[in-house]
Amino acid sequence: MTERTASDRLTVVIAHQSEEPIYEQIKRQFRQSIMTGLMQEGDSLPSLRQLAKELRVSVVTINRAYEDLEKEGFIVTAAGRGAFVAKVSKESLKDKKLKLVEEKLMESIELAESYGISRADFIKMIDLLFPRQKHG
């Protein structure tokens, strides 16, 4: 094999009883793996059938996830060859991360504001909720 394969490090987990559609769970986990650098440009993704078998879901479900990820620019698929992590510039990657976190954060800020929770109290909440880095 001349290509890195993600199979070893890869652990996709499915919750069948979740509200979140299975294909969304898969998309989210691959996105995460790529954005955290766990999977890198050129790495191969599991084949449709292989992953479908592993996760015990339909091939169509995996296909849908891969298709969406390709449209989002995270992977490229080549018929007859497989699916691979696409090239994403580090710049745009960092932008994507910050944008996603900002969006989520903005939701909670808006909620806090509508409830009349003060800036200071809100920051205090973070102080309690956000874990401090561990020291070596």
Partner DNA sequence: GTGGTCTAGACCACC
Partner DNA sequence: GTGGTCTAGACCACG
* Contacting positions for a copy of itself (CB under 8 A): 16-17, 32, 35-36, 71, 76-78, 81, 97-98, 100-102, 104-109, 111-119, 122-123, 125-126, 129-133
Choose between 73 and 101: whose C-beta lies nearer to DNA. 73
Of 96, 49, 48, 104, nearest in space to 73 by CA? 96
Residue 48 contact, options a copy of itself, DNA, none, Cβ 5-8 Å cut-off depending on partner type: DNA
Closest approach, Cβ 73 to DNA, in A, equals 14
In the chain, where do the E strands start and end?
75-78, 82-85
Closest approach, Cβ 119 to a copy of itself, in A, equals 5
Q: Tokens 């992977």 identify what position?
A: 75
Query: By the 8 A CB rule, do 87 and 41 touch?
Result: yes
Choose between 52 and 109: whose C-beta lies nearer to DNA. 52
Distance CA 94, CA 4 (A): 24
